[in-house]
Chains A and B, each alone.
Chain A
Amino acid sequence: MSQHGEVLVLDDEPIVCERLMHHLEKNDFSVETFTESAKAVNRLAEKDFDVVVTDLKMRGPTGLEVLRYVRDHQPGTQVIIITGFASIDSMREAEYGGVFEFVPKPFQMERLTSLVKKATRKARKEHGKEKA
């Protein structure tokens, strides 16, 4: 396991995946990226991640649906939603669904990295509880 956490990044824009991968890996996270949400959900069924960073609007399952899936199947895993179209409704729904943080695009890399670090700490605490 990576020292700093295991992260799944899901965004249909390859540039977002690539840049997050580079930056998070440099900070010693282990990262898997997906540009198709169906494939990401399949992977989530196979493996527990500490943090999921997902876009909101995508073809196939949306960010909110991914959030719901994670809540139902991996309650300890923290979800960060990034989006260029933050509507009040979607934010409220995400809030209600237990999102860790909602980040509007464009965002600063450092801000996201520090959020992922915090989310990992929270996830590890909760995973610990589950195991106990």
Chain B
Amino acid sequence: MLRWLKILERFRRRDDAEVFRERLESFRSLLNGNNRVLELIADAGEKLGGEYVFDVQYLKTITADLEEAMHDVVYNLQAITGGRHPQLLDTVWRIAAEIRAAVDSRLVVPMGDLVIPLDRIDLELAEAVGDKMARLGEIKEHLGCRVPDGFVVSAYACQVFLEGAGIDPTAADDPADTPQELRRRVEEAPLPKELARGVRQAIKELEKRGGSGLLAVRSSALGEDGQTSFAGMYETMLGVAPEDALDAYRQVVASLYSDNVVAYRKLRGLPPAQGLMPVGFLTMIRAQAGGVAYSLDPARPDMDIIMVSASRGLGKTVVEGSAPVDTFELSRQPPHEVIERRIANKEMAYAADRRDGLQQVPVPVSERMAPAITDDQLQELAATTLMIERYMKRAQDIEWTVDSEGRLYIVQVRPLPIRAKARPGGRMVQEAVSKYPILLDGQGAVACRGIAYGRVHVVDDCASVDPPPRSVVVARTSTPRLAACLAEASAVITDVGTATGHLAAIARELRVPAIVDAGDATRVLETGWDVTVDAEENVVYRGRVDELLRYQLTKRSSFEERLEFRLLRRILHKIAPLHLVDPESPGFTAANCTTYHDIIRFAHEEAVRELIHGRWVRAPHTGPAVRRLLLDIPLDLVLIDLGGGLREIHGPGGAQVEDIRCAPLRALLDGLLSEGTWATEPADMDFDGFMASATRAGALTGPLATRPEQNLAILSDEYLHLNLKLGYHFNIVDCYLADQRNHNYIYFRFAGGVTEITRRSRRAVVLRKILESFDFVTEGTGDLVIGRIKKISRDEMVDRLQMVGRLIGFTRQLDIMLRDDSLVDRSVNLFLQKVYDESGN
């Protein structure tokens, strides 16, 4: 009958039945392990949203659970492939060890680079580069703020240096050495060669990129500004010449042991020698003016003003408080009018140049009473300050510089402490909120905590998503298309979706307060309304609730600054990103797996390949596991049942559609076998010239008869992997359909085609448009299209799989239709109209 089955026949004598069953069992365990890992990743992601209270114990538990599930996956893959991927065991072991080390010890010194360019730094690297530099990198990377070019000598480098100087920075006990002795050792110790070379090289590169030739060398100690605040107690050196950079480094590190710091450390019960000092080297800006901005008045946070102090030249005058400076009060409301200005008589200014280094110079008499900064610059500074405050979710203390061309630079960012007495109390908040109408209360789930004010913009699912900046974006579904406008949004609310979904993850990444699954937000909220979204209590108020907004800004510390939060974020970065997306690409190898997610994706794909191509798959065809599907259409499909995918059939022979218990295959076949989908009659399509396709489409069934081994489905009750070759079209569907959303996903891959390349790429456009209108995330090049969707409900899964079934049938006809670009949209609409008609809407 069929060559494929004949081959099976041959192998039957070898009695592979036992091996086959064992490997199917391994495959099933691998799928379970996969699901478990995905579940744990989703769980950890959800905890990052801030609605949960967790401690370090949770991190330990989830780390151990993940490790166990990953071992399940990798060992089962080894069993299936006969031990082909031993390096994956190493990768899991390495990642697990890194995570455990991070969770177990509180003072983490990430091994690695000695010198790290600022471009590569964000908050993730706080433990390597210190809070100060991490924040500077973060606002450059995520907010696009202008900051000076520079690099950081890491905590790891500091550890290497200190150990060379005979100091153990992790020692818990009181060393006999006095602070003077510790400082002397640091100042006299030679820099390790590699470190000295790294710093010189980095300085050269700064100069190549057009630096001023002078450096600001800034302390960025671990824990500085954090829980134990040593703010302002460490050294910062301005106007350092490149040849003095290494000495400046030693001096800044030595300030770890200044009398003040050691005394303070003792007072807080910390070991005197404990601590590491990452050091930032930033290009000096040729300063026209400089100073400090507070996003709130710390003594009167209810005043709704921004405070700015400004001096001529470098902002050092302001920071030191050594001479009178200009002070301004600006409104926090755009366009940030200047409410009050006090211009001081500024006689001296700090300046730094190559010849004289840092020095004080007299300000020309005629300029002394002129404001140090223009109103335009003040307004830009105000807007930038508030942008940083919104992102950090706390009031901010910002050091700024305006260069000789009038460009604003941010040189330091830290949270602004607010005096306890000045903070609004709970009573005040409760009384205030009771005056505002509540629009939504406790509906759905908080996906990212925070409080935000903005104007509602309801997004239509079909229209392009383009709300004005700072909108409260309201949408029916958590479609991935919303992701594009999230960076500019002040909050996001959706009717459906989950706190573990794709959109929620992006909201957390961008720190945008998000409420999902709110039911009827699109009905209740109207475009243009002013609302305050409290994504802590899950309430939306009509109007602007200032007390609530201020409560958030003046809190003592933010959850995002906690070590536990950072650790979780770091753990997620080691486990959650998926780099291996396309199984057909040459990079899809075990060696390229760098995260747990990569590994499970790879393991799954390898296991499927082994099932399809491996020798052992040729199990006795009369056994219960392998059946041919009997259909009226020429789709020669062989089913391999992992368990629960088919009704029990006695004796040999094929399976009928009614025998299928595999939920995803049933749904897909519903679509594929629906009326008109498989038919190739041109009558359905009113495109002339389609007649040609009918004959060609007829011919497409030709190859099927001779190469039936291409069509294979691996199934269980909830899982389906489908490999279909229809003529020249290769379709792969891999999916999971269960009651629990977190397990559910569809991966759809399409490639190939008989027509010339332009028609094929038009077809790719059509497929992507159709998939996207069903909320798939798509990608692809040329004629390859990959569509993915996950974490949707059972009903949504069934709906999408039926659509995919239809789409597989539809693609057989597409090439011929797509004579020119204008037909792209018509084809999309034709398909959508058909789905719409038949679903009876």
Question: Which residues does A use to contact B, with CB under 8 Å?
Answer: 2-4, 11, 13-16, 18-20, 22-29, 84-85, 105-110, 112
When distances are taken between beta carbons in the complex, the residues of chain B under 8 Å from A20 are: 53
B35-53 to A contact mask, C-beta < 8 Å, 1/0:
0000000000001000111
Q: Nearest A residue to B559 by beta-carbon distance?
A: A19
CB distance A28 to B55 under 8 Å? no
Cα-based distance from A73 to B106 in the complex (angstroms): 38
Cα-based distance from A85 to B54 in the complex (angstroms): 13
8 interchain residue pairs of minimum CB distance: A106-B54, A28-B426, A13-B55, A84-B57, A106-B52, A28-B430, A25-B426, A106-B58
When distances are taken between beta carbons in the complex, the residues of chain B under 8 Å from A16 are: 53, 55
CB distance A110 to B537 under 8 Å? yes
**Minimal beta-carbon separation of A69 from chain B (angstroms):** 23
When distances are taken between beta carbons in the complex, the residues of chain A under 8 Å from B559 are: 19
With A106-B58, A112-B53 already in contact, the answer to whether A26 and B564 are too (CB < 8 A) is no
Cα-based distance from A106 to B61 in the complex (angstroms): 11
Partner of A26, one of B51, B58, B538, B551: B551
**Minimal beta-carbon separation of A58 from chain B (angstroms):** 12
- In this assembly, does B429 line the interface, its C-beta being within 8 Å of a C-beta of chain A? yes
- In this assembly, does B555 line the interface, its C-beta being within 8 Å of a C-beta of chain A? yes
Partner of B55, one of A4, A15, A27: A15
- In this assembly, does B427 line the interface, its C-beta being within 8 Å of a C-beta of chain A? yes
**Minimal beta-carbon separation of B516 from chain A (angstroms):** 15
Question: Which residues does B use to contact A, with CB under 8 Å?
Answer: 47, 51-58, 61, 227, 425-427, 429-430, 442, 536-538, 551, 555-557, 559, 562-564
CB distance B556 to A18 under 8 Å? yes
CB distance A27 to B426 under 8 Å? yes
**Minimal beta-carbon separation of B639 from chain A (angstroms):** 42
When distances are taken between beta carbons in the complex, the residues of chain A under 8 Å from B427 are: 2-3, 28
CB distance B53 to A84 under 8 Å? no
Given contacts A26-B429, A108-B53, A112-B53, 12 further A-B contacts (CB under 8 A): A4-B430, A11-B55, A15-B563, A15-B564, A18-B557, A84-B58, A84-B61, A105-B58, A106-B53, A107-B53, A109-B52, A110-B442
The total of Cβ contacts below 8 Å across the A-B interface reads 75
CB distance A26 to B426 under 8 Å? yes
When distances are taken between beta carbons in the complex, the residues of chain B under 8 Å from A25 are: 425-426
When distances are taken between beta carbons in the complex, the residues of chain B under 8 Å from A110 are: 51, 442, 537-538
When distances are taken between beta carbons in the complex, the residues of chain A under 8 Å from B53 are: 15-16, 19-20, 105-109, 112
When distances are taken between beta carbons in the complex, the residues of chain B under 8 Å from A14 are: 227
Partner of A109, one of B51, B425, B556: B51
When distances are taken between beta carbons in the complex, the residues of chain B under 8 Å from A23 are: 536
When distances are taken between beta carbons in the complex, the residues of chain B under 8 Å from A4 are: 426, 430
Cα-based distance from A15 to B52 in the complex (angstroms): 12
When distances are taken between beta carbons in the complex, the residues of chain A under 8 Å from B47 are: 106
Of the listed residues B47, B57, B425, B426, the one surrounded by the most CB atoms of chain A closer than 10 A to its CB is B426
**Could you jot down 24 A-B contacts, CB within 8 Å?**
A3-B430, A13-B55, A14-B227, A15-B53, A15-B564, A16-B55, A26-B426, A26-B536, A27-B426, A27-B430, A28-B427, A28-B429, A29-B426, A84-B57, A84-B61, A105-B54, A105-B58, A106-B55, A107-B53, A108-B51, A109-B52, A109-B536, A110-B442, A110-B537
When distances are taken between beta carbons in the complex, the residues of chain A under 8 Å from B58 are: 84, 105-106
**Minimal beta-carbon separation of A13 from chain B (angstroms):** 4
When distances are taken between beta carbons in the complex, the residues of chain A under 8 Å from B52 are: 106-109
When distances are taken between beta carbons in the complex, the residues of chain B under 8 Å from A84 are: 55, 57-58, 61
Partner of B555, one of A2, A13, A22, A24: A22
When distances are taken between beta carbons in the complex, the residues of chain B under 8 Å from A109 are: 51-53, 536
Cα-based distance from A110 to B536 in the complex (angstroms): 8
Cα-based distance from A15 to B56 in the complex (angstroms): 9
**Minimal beta-carbon separation of B669 from chain A (angstroms):** 41
Q: Nearest B residue to A106 by beta-carbon distance?
A: B54
When distances are taken between beta carbons in the complex, the residues of chain B under 8 Å from A27 are: 426, 430, 537
**Minimal beta-carbon separation of A30 from chain B (angstroms):** 8
**Minimal beta-carbon separation of A16 from chain B (angstroms):** 6
**Minimal beta-carbon separation of B693 from chain A (angstroms):** 56
Cα-based distance from A107 to B51 in the complex (angstroms): 8
**Minimal beta-carbon separation of B483 from chain A (angstroms):** 25
Cα-based distance from A103 to B443 in the complex (angstroms): 23
Cα-based distance from A25 to B536 in the complex (angstroms): 13
Cα-based distance from A13 to B563 in the complex (angstroms): 12
Q: Nearest A residue to B47 by beta-carbon distance?
A: A106
CB distance A105 to B55 under 8 Å? yes
**Minimal beta-carbon separation of A11 from chain B (angstroms):** 8
When distances are taken between beta carbons in the complex, the residues of chain A under 8 Å from B556 are: 18, 22
Of the listed residues A16, A26, A109, the one surrounded by the most CB atoms of chain B closer than 10 A to its CB is A26
**Minimal beta-carbon separation of B549 from chain A (angstroms):** 12
Cα-based distance from A109 to B442 in the complex (angstroms): 13
Cα-based distance from A27 to B557 in the complex (angstroms): 17
Q: Nearest A residue to B563 by beta-carbon distance?
A: A15
Q: Nearest A residue to B428 by beta-carbon distance?
A: A28
When distances are taken between beta carbons in the complex, the residues of chain B under 8 Å from A2 are: 426-427
**Minimal beta-carbon separation of A8 from chain B (angstroms):** 16
Of the listed residues B47, B538, B557, the one surrounded by the most CB atoms of chain A closer than 10 A to its CB is B557
Q: Nearest A residue to B53 by beta-carbon distance?
A: A19
When distances are taken between beta carbons in the complex, the residues of chain B under 8 Å from A108 are: 51-53
Cα-based distance from A62 to B234 in the complex (angstroms): 41
**Minimal beta-carbon separation of A114 from chain B (angstroms):** 10
Of the listed residues B54, B429, B430, B562, the one surrounded by the most CB atoms of chain A closer than 10 A to its CB is B54
Cα-based distance from A19 to B430 in the complex (angstroms): 18
When distances are taken between beta carbons in the complex, the residues of chain B under 8 Å from A11 are: 55
Cα-based distance from A20 to B61 in the complex (angstroms): 22
**Minimal beta-carbon separation of B397 from chain A (angstroms):** 20
Cα-based distance from A29 to B551 in the complex (angstroms): 15
Cα-based distance from A106 to B53 in the complex (angstroms): 5
**Minimal beta-carbon separation of A104 from chain B (angstroms):** 10
Cα-based distance from A112 to B563 in the complex (angstroms): 22
Of the listed residues B47, B53, B551, B563, the one surrounded by the most CB atoms of chain A closer than 10 A to its CB is B53
With A27-B426, A28-B427, A110-B538 already in contact, the answer to whether A15 and B562 are too (CB < 8 A) is yes
**Minimal beta-carbon separation of A93 from chain B (angstroms):** 20
**Minimal beta-carbon separation of A50 from chain B (angstroms):** 15
Q: Nearest B residue to A112 by beta-carbon distance?
A: B53
**Minimal beta-carbon separation of A103 from chain B (angstroms):** 10
When distances are taken between beta carbons in the complex, the residues of chain A under 8 Å from B57 are: 13, 84-85, 105
Q: Nearest A residue to B557 by beta-carbon distance?
A: A18
Of the listed residues A15, A16, A28, A84, the one surrounded by the most CB atoms of chain B closer than 10 A to its CB is A15
Cα-based distance from A11 to B564 in the complex (angstroms): 15
**Minimal beta-carbon separation of B439 from chain A (angstroms):** 18
Cα-based distance from A20 to B563 in the complex (angstroms): 17
Cα-based distance from A84 to B54 in the complex (angstroms): 9
Of the listed residues A2, A29, A106, the one surrounded by the most CB atoms of chain B closer than 10 A to its CB is A106
Q: Nearest B residue to A14 by beta-carbon distance?
A: B227
Cα-based distance from A18 to B565 in the complex (angstroms): 13
**Minimal beta-carbon separation of A18 from chain B (angstroms):** 6
Cα-based distance from A59 to B182 in the complex (angstroms): 35
**Minimal beta-carbon separation of B671 from chain A (angstroms):** 39
**Minimal beta-carbon separation of A92 from chain B (angstroms):** 22
Cα-based distance from A2 to B428 in the complex (angstroms): 12
Q: Nearest A residue to B227 by beta-carbon distance?
A: A14
Q: Nearest A residue to B552 by beta-carbon distance?
A: A26
Cα-based distance from A98 to B61 in the complex (angstroms): 29
Cα-based distance from A27 to B430 in the complex (angstroms): 7
When distances are taken between beta carbons in the complex, the residues of chain B under 8 Å from A22 are: 555-556
When distances are taken between beta carbons in the complex, the residues of chain A under 8 Å from B51 are: 108-110
Cα-based distance from A106 to B55 in the complex (angstroms): 7
When distances are taken between beta carbons in the complex, the residues of chain B under 8 Å from A24 are: 426
**Minimal beta-carbon separation of A116 from chain B (angstroms):** 13
When distances are taken between beta carbons in the complex, the residues of chain B under 8 Å from A29 are: 426
When distances are taken between beta carbons in the complex, the residues of chain B under 8 Å from A85 are: 57
When distances are taken between beta carbons in the complex, the residues of chain A under 8 Å from B563 are: 15
**Minimal beta-carbon separation of A20 from chain B (angstroms):** 7
Cα-based distance from A105 to B54 in the complex (angstroms): 6
When distances are taken between beta carbons in the complex, the residues of chain A under 8 Å from B429 are: 26, 28
